């Protein structure tokens, strides 16, 4: 059955072909949602949206640009008449050690993962509040919970831990307006974010640490996002949901 029939969803960082955002966009569309894919490159965003079908839209948006994100999300709200779902998925990582983090590394990683989540939420919240209904799903990481995933440096762990704090504070503040806010903490998922850094030996080493014995897929994460974006999770807010094959059981 269609869990998101008639719903309008905005997903950031969803142009990446094998990424978590694109898989989430596809699953939402299959469940009846109209989806807007926001990403840095306009052509890539439009191409990704076209893959889903003609009613979906792709738009250029840098999530770190406060006014830019607001302009794009306001335009979608004007066109659709509402914004039901926001998935803050845009993210970058860098495999640096603590002493290697230069100011520019800190800025890049904190800005996309954390500042971007704040700015896109601030753009969507007035619409969700006005309609007294909304769901925000934020992409954190196991890296936030265990102090490093596999490829992310300490600044990435800090940014993703920041996303968890922001998620919980927003959940508390927005609950009276019937806006639910939750986070997903993916473990190791095979996407392009690890571009080129994954050797066969490294993959075996990673698999040895996963009780389920396999890396996650983008679809594994999309399924969790669908749950959090739909009424199946009607009484769930401020939670962090692990999608990690048992690699961090706590
Ligand atoms: P990906 O690299 O495939 O996709 C990320 C997308 O974000 C890209 O399309 C990129 O263009 C976009 N992006 C980057 N900066 C942006 C900006 N300033 N504004 C708008 N878009 C921007 O990565 P992915 O693996 O699909 O990761 C998606 C999310 O999941 C990220 O937040 C990532 O940190 C998180 N995550 C991934 C894993 C994993 O193992 N793949 C694990 C935990 C968390």
Q: Report ipTM (2 d.p.).
A: 0.99
Is residue 8 within 8 A of residue 83, CB to CB? The reply is yes
Task: Give the CATH number for residue 235.
Answer: 3.40.50.720
Residue 249 resides in a domain: no
Ligand 1 centre to CA of 11 (Å) is 11
Ligand 1 centre to CA of 6 (Å) is 27
Residue 48 resides in a domain: yes
Ligand 1 centre to CA of 13 (Å) is 6
Which mutation among 23, 90, 210 tests ligand 1's pocket best, with the greatest number of atoms within 8 A of CB? 90
User: What are the pLDDT digits (tens) for 65-77?
Assistant: 999 999 999 999 9
Is the shortest distance between the CB of 88 and ligand 1 below 6 Å? no
**Residue 17 vs residue 191, higher pLDDT:** 17
Residue 3 resides in a domain: no
Residue 181 resides in a domain: yes
Confidence of residue 149 (pLDDT cuts 50, 70, 90): confident
Work out whether strand 134-139 and strand 34-39 pair parallel, antiparallel, or are unpaired: unpaired
* pLDDT surpasses 70 at 100: yes
Residue 18 resides in a domain: yes
pTM: 0.98
Is the shortest distance between the CB of 64 and ligand 1 below 6 Å? yes
Q: Which residues are catalytic?
A: 156
User: What's the pLDDT score for residue 195?
Assistant: 64
User: What's the pLDDT score for residue 99?
Assistant: 98
Residue 94 resides in a domain: yes
Q: How far from the centroid of its chain's Cα atoms is residue 90's Cα?
A: 6
Residue 22 resides in a domain: yes
Share of residues in the chain with pLDDT > 90 (%) = 92
**Residue 190 vs residue 71, higher pLDDT:** 71
Residue 120 resides in a domain: yes
User: What's the pLDDT score for residue 216?
Assistant: 96
Bridge partners, 2 (sequence order): none
Tally the domains of the chain.
1
Is the shortest distance between the CB of 40 and ligand 1 below 6 Å? yes
Is the shortest distance between the CB of 21 and ligand 1 below 6 Å? yes
Q: How far from the centroid of its chain's Cα atoms is residue 191's Cα?
A: 14
Mean of pLDDT values over 234-240: 98
Domain carrying residue 112:
8-243
């Amino acid at each position: 059955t269609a869990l998101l029939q008639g719903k309008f969803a905005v997903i950031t960082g969803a142009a990446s072909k094998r990424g978590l955002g694109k898989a989430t966009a596809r699953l939402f569309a299959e469940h009846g949602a109209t989806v807007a894919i926001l990403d840095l490159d306009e052509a890539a965003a439009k191409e990704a949206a076209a893959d889903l079908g003609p009613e979906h839209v792709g738009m250029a948006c840098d999530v770190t640009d406060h006014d830019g994100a607001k302009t794009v999300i306001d335009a979608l709200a004007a066109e659709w008449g509402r914004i039901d779902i926001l998935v803050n998925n845009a993210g970058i990582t860098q495999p640096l050690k603590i002493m290697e983090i230069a100011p520019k590394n800190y800025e890049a990683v904190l800005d996309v993962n954390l500042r971007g989540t704040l700015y896109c939420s601030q753009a969507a919240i007035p619409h969700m509040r006005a309609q007294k209904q909304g769901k925000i799903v934020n992409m954190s990481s196991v890296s936030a919970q265990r102090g490093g995933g596999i490829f992310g440096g300490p600044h990435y762990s800090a940014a993703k831990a920041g996303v968890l704090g922001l998620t919980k504070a927003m959940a508390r503040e927005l609950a009276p307006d019937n806006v639910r806010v939750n986070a997903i903490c993916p473990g190791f998922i095979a996407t392009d974010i690890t571009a080129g850094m994954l050797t066969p030996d490294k993959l075996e080493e990673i698999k040895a640490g996963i009780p389920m014995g396999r890396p996650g897929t983008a679809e594994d994460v999309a399924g969790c996002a669908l749950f959090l974006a739909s009424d199946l999770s009607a009484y769930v807010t401020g939670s962090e949901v692990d999608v990690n094959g048992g690699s961090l059981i706590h």
